[in-house]
Amino acid sequence: MRAIHRMPVLASLYLLPLLLGLAVPASAQDRVWISELSALDRQYMSHQRATIDDLARRHTGRGFTGDKDRDIDLIQRLLDRGLVGPDQTAELQALGMILGDLLAEQLDMHWVVYEDKLGRSRALRYRDTDNYLFPMTMVSRRHEAGNQTPVKDIYQKAVDAITPHRIPLPFQ
């Protein structure tokens, strides 16, 4: 794996506690490594998308399309009906990946590998900034803990966290 960017974790991790409810102390000694998704990452993510899409089609007659409102509704439906339960971490993370694809499209973000002393994660990065979202765990951590926050609220919270850091478009 080729590291693309190395930086201190001062400003970049403030989003993680906000979105996951974690307290992560940051210091100048903490480092993160950012790299592109490997071929294995892309293959795994493609498999997860296909698996969760198949589950949705079999149980609801609908698949994921990339339409924000429709896909958020479908994620919520899968959770509300118990078709993906709190003990199904891989499926919950796949739902988070679908949510992440929607966020990436709306917020001009892209998938990267984010590594720090806590481990390796797939994350969304806003352009080449230090602003990250971790959508694969946005749904799973909440649902596994019994938190029933609506998916549309999780999505909006992520949008609200990144929007102030986005480069304004002309004539807005």
pLDDT tens-place string over residues 120-154:
999 999 999 999 999 999 999 999 999 999 999 99
The H or E element spanning position 20 is helix 15-20
Q: Which sequence spans correspond to the domains of the chain?
A: 5-165
Is the pLDDT at 10 greater than 70, yes or no?
A: no
Spell out the long-range contacts of 65-70 with Cβ–Cβ below 8 A and sequence spacing 24 or more.
66/101, 66/102, 66/105, 68/102, 68/105, 68/106, 68/155
Token reading at 67? 């339409």
Q: Residue with structure tokens 């993510």?
A: 45
Residue 13 pLDDT: 40
Is the pLDDT at 98 greater than 70, yes or no?
A: yes
Greatest extent of the chain over all pairs of C-alpha atoms, in Å: 50
What's the CATH number for 5-165? 1.20.120.1090
Gap between the Cα atoms of 65 and 69, Å rounded: 10
Question: Sorting pLDDT into bands at 50, 70 and 90, what band is 171?
Answer: low
Residues 113, 101: contact at Cβ < 8 Å?
Answer: no
Strand positions, DSSP E, 21-159? 31-35, 109-116, 119-126, 132-133
Over residues 19-39, the pLDDT tens digits come to 444 444 455 457 999 999 999
Mean pLDDT of the chain: 87
Against a cut of 0.75, is the pTM above it? yes
